[in-house]
Amino acid sequence: MNIAIIKYNAGNVASVMYALDRIGAKYTWTDDEKVIQAADKVIFPGVGEASTAMAYLKEKKLDQLIPTLKQPVLATCIGMQLLCKHSEENDTDCMGVFDVNITRFQSNTLKIPHVGWNSIQARGTNDLMKGLNETEFVYFVHSFYAPVYQDTSATCNYVQPFSAMLQKDNFFAAQFHAEISGKVGQKIIQNFLDL
C-alpha cells in the first residue's frame, strides 16, 4: 500500500511516521500533487497555527487538491481544523470539506488549552473505532474545537461536548493525536489503513 503524508509547514511529523513504522506501513512524506493523488491513503497531520498553515497550503495549491481527493484521507489535530469551513484562529478561511466552523474554548474555570488524556464516545457511523470500546481515552492538545454536528463520529467533553472525530465520505478526521494515544491510537490508525 502507498501512503502519502502531506508535507507542509505545520509542526513535526516524526511521531506520525514512527506510528506508521510500528504498524509496518510504508509511506512518503510529500507535497507533490501527483504523488498525493496517486496514493492509496493520504494522511494530513499537523500541529500549529491555522492561518500560517493555510497560507502555505494555498501557496502550494494543496488547498485546491485536498478537498478533491477520492481515496481515504485521515486528518489530525490542525489538519482536521483545516478541513473545516472556517477557523476563529486568526480568522482563517479553511477548506470546507466539513461544513462546520472552528471556535475557541471559553471558560472561567477550566484551563485552556485542553491538554491530556480525555475520553471519547463513538457517535453514529465511526469506521475508525471498529474493534474498540464505545468509550476510549486519547491524547489531546488544543485550544480550538469543532462543535458537535451531523458529521461528528466521536464526541469528547471539555467545557462542553465537541467533535473528537469527524467522518464524511472518504474524509476522516481526529482532533486528538492518534499517533501518541497508546494502543487506542494505534488501532485507529490501523483501522484507517485497513479501509
Chain positions contacting another protein, by CB under 8 A = 11-12, 14-15, 18-19, 21-22, 47-49, 111-119, 137, 139, 141-142, 157-158, 177, 179-183, 185-186
| The one catalytic residue among 77, 84, 94, 156 | 77
C-beta neighbour count of 40 within 10 angstroms? 12
Residue (31 or 179) nearer to another protein, CB: 179
Residue (151 or 179) nearer to another protein, CB: 179
179 is catalytic: yes
Tell me the three state secondary structure of residue 34. Answer: helix
Helix (H) / strand (E) containing 156: strand 152-158
177 is catalytic: yes
Helix (H) / strand (E) containing 22: helix 14-23
| C-alpha–C-alpha distance, residues 136 and 20, integer Å | 21
**What Rg, from alpha-carbon coordinates, does the chain have?**
15
Residues classed as catalytic: 77, 177, 179
